[in-house]
Amino acid sequence: MSDPLTLFKALAHQSRLSLLAALLEQPTYVEVLAERLKLSASTVSFHLKKLEAAGLVSSQRDQYYTIFTVDRTILEQSLRDLVRPPRRELAEQEKREKKYRQKVLDAFFRHGKLRSIPVQRKKRMIVLEQIVQAFEPGRIYPEKEVNLLIAEYHDDFCQIRRDMVDERLLTRERGVYRLATEVE
């Protein structure tokens, strides 16, 4: 199978969609398709080459003619399967994200203390996720204890506590806090 971008580009033309529909009914050759779709043979050939390059159509010589057939396996795949990146790309992406996360942590933390609260949400989330690791799963925390835990990282514990609740890292109910993952 070709890459998804080539596939979607090939499908992004009405004539090619019409050709696919006709070939789904029955494999055939250029002249029959041209007559059936009221297109010139050269136009049909041009579009069939695009479909073939995308892996949607295959061709086979039969005496004087070339018979075109739809590769149904591609059309039977789900959209999710078609757009899912290959495993190696996922691994590379994960590696880049890990490197970025470490870069953010190095920029905002010195000796375990938060130097400043990031303004950019993505960076702030990384910082908050780091701080929330100080909380124990299954434990209920009164607000005073939450403040003391956060104060070990930064003096503005009120802002960080609010951000953790707003970002659903902690839940707050009747003055007690717990990790949000335990409630879900």
The larger pLDDT score, comparing residue 124 to residue 8, is at 124
User: Tell me, what's the pLDDT at 182?
Assistant: 55
Secondary element (H or E) of residue 22: helix 14-25
User: Tell me, what's the pLDDT at 88?
Assistant: 77
pLDDT of 147-179, one tens digit each? 999 999 999 999 999 999 999 999 999 889 999
Is it true that 4-80 and 86-182 share their CATH fold?
A: yes
User: Tell me, what's the pLDDT at 184?
Assistant: 42
pLDDT of 83-97, one tens digit each? 777 777 778 888 999
The dihedral through the CA atoms of 73, 77, 83, 84 has a sign that is negative
Range name among 60-64, 77-81, 130-134, 146-150 with the lowest pLDDT average: 77-81
**Token output for 133:** 């690791």
How far is Cα 71 from Cα 59, in angstroms, rounded to an integer? Answer: 10
Instruction: Report yes or no: 11 and 17 within 8 Å, Cβ to Cβ.
Output: yes
How far is Cα 5 from Cα 123, in angstroms, rounded to an integer? Answer: 31
User: Tell me, what's the pLDDT at 2?
Assistant: 63
Domain limits, the chain = 4-80, 86-182
Is the pLDDT at 19 greater than 50? The verdict is yes
pLDDT of 44-71, one tens digit each? 999 999 999 998 999 998 888 889 999 8
**Token output for 119:** 């303004």
pLDDT band per the 50, 70, 90 thresholds, residue 183 = very low
pTM comes to 0.56
DSSP string, 30-87: HHHHHHHHT--HHHHHHHHHHHHHTTSEEEEEETTEEEEEE-HHHHTS-HHHHHSPPH
**Does 1.20.140.10 match the CATH number of domain 4-80?**
no
Range 51-60, long-range pairs (CB < 8 A, 24+ positions): 51/10, 51/16, 51/19, 51/20, 53/2, 53/6, 53/10, 54/2, 54/6, 54/7, 54/9, 54/10, 54/11, 55/1, 55/2, 55/6, 55/7, 56/7, 56/10, 56/11, 56/20, 57/19, 57/20, 57/23
Mean pLDDT, rounded, of the chain: 90
CATH number of 86-182: 1.10.10
Residue carrying structure tokens 């050759």: 29
* Alpha carbon distance, N-terminus to C-terminus of the chain: 40
